Structure 1
Amino acid sequence: MSADTRNPVLVIGLGRFGGSVARTLERMGHEVLGADRSATLVQEYAQDLTQVVEADCTDTVCLEKMGARSFTSAVVGIGSDIEASVLAVLALSDLGVPNIWAKAVNEKHGRILERTGAHHVVFPEERMGERVARLLNERLLDFISFGDEFAIAKLAAPEAIAGLPLELSACREKYDVTVIGVKREDEDFIHAVPDTLILPDDVLVVSGRVDRIEAFAALHAD
């Protein structure tokens, strides 16, 4: 999809979180207007984003002059200054931006953002802390939680099912997880079917409840 078919996005706050979001959106083909109070950050991102401005985005008048009202999506990446974060969300809400994402540093901050007008609140530090804790389990290689006890994970094939086709290993019946696919070194990803043979060095992509996935990853051969 080309850039002119993707909606432009306004990103307020170009720190680690906001900057990462902005650069990723650009790589995906979006036009991005980045804004920050810091002249240093504005200069840093000038070559990476469609447009970058030095501005106080807690001010509705300033945002209106920037054309914020014309955006269908905005991201408020301000985290350290909670007041500025809340005021920026409030200003965007007052301008009628229909899809506002905002970073929160804790649950209380998140509730305030929601009541102020944020449609989606994210907790990047909390989520990353959870992710690191999960990955300290050496057999879990990657992990995505959906916040409702359900997750998708990439893990080393458990010893207990190595050498068996999926049908015989009965992962869903015995362990309450679903093997979605298999990846082997130097081979393409395989979508799992009942007769897929699991080899000892395979990497599996599985879905299920978080606790079930963790127990499955830790299985040893009898």
Structure 2
Amino acid sequence: MKKEFVVIGLGRFGGSICRTLVDQGMEVLAIDKDEDRVNEYSKIASHAVVADTTDEEVLKELGIRNFDHVIVAIGDDIQSSILTTLMLKEMGVRHITVKAQNDYHEKVLRKIGADHVVHPERDMGRRIAHNIVSNNVLDYLELSDEHSIVEIVANDVLAGHSILQLDIRAKYGINIVAIKRGNQINVSPQANEVIQKGDVLIVIGADSDINRFEKKVMED
């Protein structure tokens, strides 16, 4: 069964979400105050409308509360972002994800009931920084302020050893949750799994432990 989404704000972030959801076969209502943007996405989204989402009557007319998930991707207008989120919450929208401009904005959004707050520019900056610092880090996904999932390419230090022999969990407090080898992915690999050079290890743990592992093992 297709889920139905609303994307409010069709800038780079909102537009990217809209396109990706549509590519995944979802129903998407795209909303923006800018008529040119709406015209662009009218060819992509299931429906696209020009609307001011700080107007409660407009939201009601659009039947927003009947959608599964609303993404508020309003750009630099923090006031509109907050007002829109507040009204969506009061209308009983089931799940609301909001783009935050800064930490203060995030605090307000969380206080008024946003289910999920994202910082796309900050988070992408952190991912790029991790990739730049270590040649072995392919990707970095922040789970919380202190925990992450990281994709790390196995080097000569790890190659030829089993997970049991490396004892990474005991030594560094991190877990290998999957191994990607070519087009194959091994989820929850066994302790006797031997790592090969070039394997992509999907590791989860505290940032401090992952950083320690990168410095001690991956940089050798």
The structure 2 residue matched to 1:14, chosen from 1, 10, 15, is 10
Q: Which runs of 5+ in 1 are unaligned?
A: none
Q: What is the RMSD computed on CA atoms of the aligned residues? A: 2.0
C-alpha distance after superposition, 1:60-84 (max 9, x if no partner): 1111111223224211100211111
Partner of 2:63: 67
Partner of 1:108: 104
Q: 1:105 is aligned with what amino acid? A: Q
Partner of 2:77: 81
CA contact (8 A) 1:157 1:217 kept: no
The structure 1 residue matched to 2:140, chosen from 143, 160, 180, is 143
Partner of 2:122: 126
Partner of 1:31: 27
Q: Is 1:188 aligned to residue 184 of structure 2?
A: yes
Q: 2:178 is aligned with what amino acid? A: G
CA contact (8 A) 1:158 1:216 kept: no
Partner of 2:169: 172
Q: 1:35 is aligned with what amino acid? A: I
Counterparts of 2:219 and 2:49 in 1: how far apart (Å)? 59
- Structure 1 residues 159 and 32 mapped into 2: Cα distance closer, same or farther (>3 Å)? same
C-alpha distance after superposition, 1:5-54 (max 9, x if no partner): 13311111111111122222222232111100111111111111100001
- Structure 1 residues 93 and 173 mapped into 2: Cα distance closer, same or farther (>3 Å)? closer
Q: TM-score, normalised by structure 2?
A: 0.89
Q: 2:102 is aligned with what amino acid? A: N
Partner of 2:210: 213
Matched residue count = 217
Which stretch of the first structure deviates more once superposed, 121-130 or 157-166? 157-166
Report how far residue 148 of structure 1 moved: 4.4
Secondary structure of 2:157's partner? Answer: helix
Secondary structure of 1:168's partner? Answer: helix
Secondary structure of 1:160's partner? Answer: coil
Counterparts of 1:81 and 1:67 in 2: how far apart (Å)? 23
- Structure 1 residues 148 and 109 mapped into 2: Cα distance closer, same or farther (>3 Å)? closer
Secondary structure of 2:15's partner? Answer: helix
Which stretch of the first structure deviates more once superposed, 175-184 or 84-93? 175-184
Partner of 1:45: 41
Which stretch of the first structure deviates more once superposed, 136-145 or 152-161? 152-161
Report how far residue 220 of structure 1 moved: 5.7
Q: Is 1:156 aligned to residue 150 of structure 2?
A: no
CA contact (8 A) 1:156 1:217 kept: no
Q: Which runs of 5+ in 2 are unaligned?
A: none
Counterparts of 2:17 and 2:145 in 1: how far apart (Å)? 24
